[in-house]
Amino acid sequence: MITFENVGMRYGMGAEVLRDVSFTLDKGSFHFLVGPSGAGKTTLLKLLYLAHRPSRGLINFFGRDLMTQERETLPRLRRRIGVVFQDFRLFDHMTAFENVALPLRIQGAKRAQVADHVEELLSWVGLEDRMHARPATLSGGEKQRVAIARAVINKPDLLVADEPTGNVDPEMSRRLMHLFVALNKEGTTTVVATHDDTLVRSMAAPTLRLDKGEISFLPGGSPIDPGE
């Protein structure tokens, strides 16, 4: 479904942040993305959620070559991708309900169609009582769940999460991961970037490991070097 072939990425005239990155994400697969700070995880994630084009190499998204796509076609592709940011990136002046409804509104859904769907999803992430709260009044875990709900409201084909458990306690971390697993079971290809080795081991999912801009693949269940 998503293929990277010899992808290289540099910012401006700087050194390459990613070098010859090649991998494939099959439909409905679940991958962790790990690696030390500065390894290029954020850059790879940006390529995955179409915030950047690579400097070189081929990226195929849902059967389309990204390098040949016109800028005007990108919104359609992006609507098939859900993103959970480490810092949530919620709109502070909107309520939880309005934040979650945004992707549907962008696609032109009517208010009546949106309401039931958003309420159902917020209930699913345990925020049925906080629908009309603004992000400033939400805890870190609640914000993260709003961000996840926003990322999955339009049933994306690909879900990319950057350190989704980085700002929450272990119990909330487990609950969030259960959400990702449940989504993945419904067919959403999922990539979760994390530093949490315990989390990775507990899931025993295949892992993409980045180090100094180069990627390696660890099949599901492989132990992670504790020294990382």
Partner 1 sequence: MWGRTLQFLPRDMREGLLPWVIGVMLFLCTLALACGLALGRGLERWSAGLTTNLTVQIAVIDDKERDKQTAAALTLLRATPGIVEASVLADAEVVALLSPWLGEMPFDTGLPVPTLIDVKLSRPDAVNTAGLRERLVAAAAGAQLDDHQAWMGQVLDLAAVVRLLLAGIVVMVVLCTIAIVIFGCRAGLATHRESIEIMHLMGAEDSTISHAFDQRYLSHGLKGGLVGVILAALTLYLIAHMAQRMGQGLLTASLPTGDNLMWLALLPIVSAILTMLTARVTVRRALLKMM
**Interaction site with partner 1 (CB under 8 A):** 49-53, 71-72, 74-76, 78-79, 81, 83, 89, 91-94, 98, 102-103, 105-107, 111, 150
Closest distance of CB 8 from partner 1, Å: 17
CB of 97 to partner 1, least distance (A): 10
What's the min distance (Å) between Cβ of 162 and partner 1? 12
Determine contact, residues 216/209, Cβ cutoff 8 Å: yes
- Which residue, 91 or 217, is less far from partner 1 as judged by CB? 91
**Cα 105 to Cα 59: distance, rounded to the nearest angstrom:** 29
Q: Are 62 and 2 in contact (CB under 8 A)?
A: yes
Give the integer Cα–Cα distance in Å for 218 and 223. Answer: 9
CB of 160 to partner 1, least distance (A): 10
Residue 139: CB minimum distance to partner 1, A: 21
Q: Which residue, 98 or 163, is less far from partner 1 as judged by CB?
A: 98
φ, ψ for residue 76, nearest 5 deg? -65, -40
CB within 8 Å of 111: residues ≥ 6 apart: none
**Other Cβ atoms closer than 10 A to 21:** 25
Question: How many CA atoms within 13 Å lie on the side-chain side of 123?
Answer: 6
Nearer to partner 1 among residue 32 and residue 97 (C-beta): 97
Rounded Cα–Cα distance for residues 206 and 228 (Å): 17
| Min separation Cβ 75 and partner 1, Å | 5
- Collect all residues with Cβ–Cβ distance below 8 Å to 46 and sequence separation of at least 6: 52
Task: Tell which phi-psi region holds residue 6, choosing left (phi > 0), alpha (psi between -120 and 50) or beta.
Answer: left
